[in-house]
Amino acid sequence: MLKLNVKPALLLLEDSKISAVKGELKKCIKKFHGSPPGFVRILYDDRVVREIEEYSEKLKKYENFVVVGIGGSALGNQALQNALRPMDWNFLTSKDREGYCRVFVIDNVDPDLVRTTLKMVEPEKTIFNIISKSGGTAEALANYLIVRGVLEDAGLDPRDHLVFTTDPKKGFLRELANREGIDAFEIPPDVGGRFSVLTSVGLLSAKAAGIDIRALLEGARSMVDNSKLEEVNENLPALLALVHYLHLEQGRNIAVMMAYSNRLLTLVDWFRQLWAESLGKRKDGQCGVGQTPVKALGSVDQHSQLQLYNDGPDDKIITMLRIREFHDDVEIPLIHDDESVRYLGGKKLSGLLNTEFVGTALSLVESNRPVVILDFEKLDEEHVGRFFLLYEIATVFMGELLGVNPFDQPGVERSKVITKALMGMKGLEKEKAKILARLKELEMEA
């Protein structure tokens, strides 16, 4: 299991406030499991796994699997690949990859990213997975059109090289899949993008790279079981929500997540979207609630951010991620007899990294900063599955405590409308005129 230590953060809180929030969390736990959200329900639908396993037979003919999406349609895929595949996976031979695909993610409409990624794959050896829940995400569709153009220019049948992941019934991608006979997987209507990593959104690319998706789901289900415990001290998602909520009440409106492993870093990216988009909400018509998630990497950011965390404003709660057992390790050779380096010789890099973890954690505690420690006994599918559900459930509990809906994102929608209007989408001509007038007033260029 993942091991969660919130004691350093609890020590800075009053017992009476902890007790009061525990009472509220017991209600949250009962409400959550009385009507579990879609991201929990889907964990028990074996049909999804069976469909992916069947489709994976087709993938054996291909060398590359390219995910085309943005936000929740990309971040989970990146987190799974970086955490559970070797960091040099895409540079290994097919034999070393045991025939599984290299996986690339196009998660932006940056022309440099798109052009470079497409240059790294041969279209005839590639499956492109276009992901958009609505089927109308501008960024995903723009990149789909570029990919489709590449396939047609190469004289390839798009049906052999495209797969869509989208709404089961509606939207452009679903309509196109039905019309042209393109393979398509479903994103359940009751699962939002940032909660969708353990649906076909993330599981398809995971399977393409040989990740054990059944073990991922088993780990996730074990965290669901833990979240049913009524005793808050034993319920890990509830504990996470408790410490973050109470420290937010004390003015700590920044949630730092500091990963002591490069392979954990994209899990932090995934967390940032989940925490920010779910909890940063208007309340009673006014801006006001939420914690700003910040990403950090140990030991790198000990030389970049730690000074601020220890001696700067006391406005942060810091979660530190650690791996106890690394897949690979490197021994530091004993070469020089000089005392300034001799103490390092014969030690392992993992030992140095995790010792620095302890040094950072203790320094923060000594500075009276709230610290949460999350240990991965090892980095495997079950631990990663637990991590995803730990934070997804904690986010819902936190939303309940804050009194906001963790499943909507109204603050994102206006930006989408402005983009579509300026790009010339039909039906938005009047809106475009208003936007251009406003931009001129602000001396901003369109």
**Catalytic sites, residue numbers:** 277, 303, 416
Cβ atoms 332, 346 nearer than 8 A? yes
Peptide bond into 134 cis (omega under 30): no
> Do the bridges between strand 371-378 and strand 3-5 make them parallel or antiparallel, or are there none, so unpaired?
antiparallel
